[in-house]
A and B are shown apart, each in its own frame.
Chain A
Amino acid sequence: AQSVTQLDSQVPVFEEAPVELRCNYSSSVSVYLFWYVQYPNQGLQLLLKYLSGSTLVKGINGFEAEFNKSQTSFHLRKPSVHISDTAEYFCAVSEKGGSEKLVFGKGTKLTVNP
């Protein structure tokens, strides 16, 4: 079975500052890794995914994440955030070659202040 730990439940930052949202996972098998964003009162939107290949993946809205197998981490970064990035961010894993079901972390609430 897989599990996901998002180390920060809330991250407040000022506009134009860099941000890193941390995600660690546990699994006995190879996994796919995802970051989803949920804006207030909206559904989930896929930000980016790691399936294989280059460990640095780029997503929408200027976000990127780096897969680190030795540290079982998949941290999300953005060099300069905007007010509109205020949202809940979820890290998720699924078993490679498995049932496709996602296991989510508890989420990180990113608040960008002016």
Chain B
Amino acid sequence: SAVISQKPSRDICQRGTSLTIQCQVDSQVTMMFWYRQQPGQSLTLIATANQGSEATYESGFVIDKFPISRPNLTFSTLTVSNMSPEDSSIYLCSVVRGKGEQFFGPGTRLTVL
């Protein structure tokens, strides 16, 4: 398994501002993922973050809106920029351990007013 922590656990933000979410893993991993779970919805992959290279974004997500950093093998950040109420979601990071098995952080619950 993997121990993953996220900060903050929740936040309430004003529209037009930005929030940076941190994800810390208890040991080194090659790949980290960022997902979004909108209210009452399933999870959608935002991007894949590999250390030493730029993040790979899924269709519908762009770097200007969701910049990601991956400075080392245990840490990543996701920034939600110029927020609007539509960005209100739970944001989760995950890592792969073993063959195809992903472990998820507890999530960051974001509310944009």
Contacts and interface: CB of A to CB of B under 8 A. Distances in A.
B106 interface: yes
B41 A106 contact: yes
Contact of A43 (B33, B44, B100, B106): B106
Contacts, number: 51
Contacts of A87: none
Q: Summarize B's interface: helix, strand, loop or mixed.
A: strand
A81 to B, nearest CB: 22
Name the interface size band of chain A.
20 to 34
A107 B42 contact: yes
A46 B101 contact: yes
A71 interface: no
A43 B92 contact: yes
A51 B106 CA distance: 25
Interface of B: 31, 33, 41-45, 48, 92, 94, 96, 99-107
Given A34-B101, A46-B103, A106-B42, 12 more contacts: A32-B99, A32-B100, A34-B102, A44-B43, A46-B102, A49-B100, A94-B100, A100-B33, A101-B48, A102-B94, A102-B102, A104-B43
27 contacts: A34-B100, A34-B101, A42-B106, A43-B92, A43-B104, A43-B105, A43-B106, A43-B107, A44-B92, A44-B104, A45-B104, A46-B101, A46-B102, A46-B103, A51-B100, A90-B43, A94-B100, A100-B33, A101-B45, A102-B45, A102-B94, A103-B45, A104-B43, A106-B41, A106-B42, A107-B41, A107-B42
